[in-house]
Amino acid sequence: MPVKVVRCPTCAGPSIYAASNLYRPFCSIRCKNLDFGAWASATFKLPENQSDSDPAFEKD
């Protein structure tokens, strides 16, 4: 069975996408920790759902 190689989300280097790679989809523990640190420090965050109407500012 051929080995699947993907791009590491952190460094864009090659990463083996298999059970033998404990850090998949990352290529190393360093890249995995860098990504985790970015999420933990809120460097990465999901966009907030903004509604068109805010109850505090609705007109009567």
C-alpha 19/C-alpha 47 separation (Å) is 32
Cis peptide before 9 (omega within 30 of 0): no
pLDDT in tens, 1-45: 789 999 999 999 999 999 999 999 999 999 999 999 988 887 777
Q: Which domains are seen in the chain, by residue range?
A: 5-40 (3.30.50.10)
Q: b/e string for 31-48 if b means 16 or more Cβ within 10 A?
A: bbeebeeeeeeeeeeeee
The structure's pTM equals 0.65
Q: Answer whether 8's CB lies under 8 Å from 25's CB.
A: yes
Structure tokens at 41: 């420090």
